[in-house]
Structure 1
Amino acid sequence: MPQMKDWKEYQIKVSETLAEFGFTTKVEEVIEGARGRHEIDVTARIRYAGVDQLWIIECKKWKRPVPKERILAFTSIVEDVGADRGLIFAEGGFQAGAVRASRNTSITLTNLTDFVSNSEDELSSIKIGGLMRRIAELENKYHSIWNLDEKERGRVQSRYVGPEAFGLKEPIAVMACLSTMKDSLEAASFGRWPVPYRALDQDDSNGLIDVKNWDGLLFVTEQTLETCSRIYEHMVGNGSSVSRWQDLQPSDLTDLLSALRNGRSPR
């Protein structure tokens, strides 16, 4: 039996590693992009928070560092196929220009050992992608209220029970909270800890809360996003009404914020 080539073994090992983290993977899958077909070394798919994500991976079992030109070419492929993330695995490292070219992009440069060691950050990026899409979808829903006819818009706005902003009983505070969520997730993705968290009832008397790790940030973001979603559903719905938006907030988040503001350590 012919011996498997090193580069092929490397692709399979990368695929198996991603599969261990819950991805559905394929080796050498052909994907149709906007500008052409691309054979991808490894594809990895996962679903989180109702959102499907596609990562594409290039594997370089080279003894020499990967140059900048390879990063730029791969970036073009990531954009062409609409992947959420691109990873280049290379055991020989990367040239300085390649590292610079990958900064502030959706491209991650890594190797098998580093990927496993940094799995918390890598898996958090999956959740970030799902949350970013949910935030964008909810922002669009709130903006769409202004496209309703006058009578329906009046009915919807009359059912708004969220926090006020600038003395206005309109969802400005909710929109500001959604915007801050995006900023916080982006800052965390670049390792800028601690990151600010804006609660829905934020005002001058209770400043922004510093969140220091992924578990905390993902928890408060998911819970606050759920609250914002419930406020919107209450506005556009025809069912029973509540008088306080706090009744729509998950109790776990209410308890956490109360503990933090009273100087207690959350359980």
Structure 2
Amino acid sequence: MFKTKGDRLESLIQYVYQVLSEFANKDIEVKNKHNIVGKSGVIHNIDVYYQFELNGITHKVIFECKNWHSKVSKEKVLALKSILEDIPNSVGVMVAPKGYQSGANKFAEHHGIELISGSEESLLAAVIQKRLQVVLPDESVIGEPFYCLMEKGDSGQVTGTYIRNIDADGKPFLILYFSKKEAEESGKNLNSIVRGIDKKHLTILCDYSDNFGLNLAIKQFMSTDVLGVDSKLIRDFFL
């Protein structure tokens, strides 16, 4: 579990960029809470960090994560600029879900610092889509042992989005079906396609559940009951 909201955001950013680098076939390790010594001799603790080689030069990418309730000020972007000046061949990215105060964007643009804002869901969206392009269950996948409903696009193909339900607390959850026929019945009035979930896809769903709060549920065979289930139980019994 994450100790703070900041820890959660840092882990999310580390995950996002690690998966994107793997998708691009780049041998890059994205690190969380990485210490690096600047030209001044001062040790900087970087929220999220990775580096890569290009034309014989090591380039460093430094992320500053601000999971605050308010917008980030220009002064915080200035503080990141100071760190970048102390670390040669580095570029900076600041991530703040609530956005930035007036002047911060203009200052960051002038100094080549990228500012990212938006919800966790929006940050994950690109990664989920790209990762599912590689491991998206197609019609040939047989449920081992589950089936699920996926959104159908205008062309009749899956969009890469799992169809989720909403519980009494307003939280989304994904239903796993033991029966393909029951999944088809449940999705009859939805714009959906039934897909099998094998062990590879089930592992990914459990990873999302463990790290980013994707709630999972299992529909009991020949019953209307849908029971929420912890990812650990799924791993213990089905993986």
| TM-score (normalised: structure 2) | 0.44
Richer in helix (by share): 1
Larger Rg: 1
**Quick one: higher RCO (CA 8 Å, sep 6+), 1 or 2?**
2
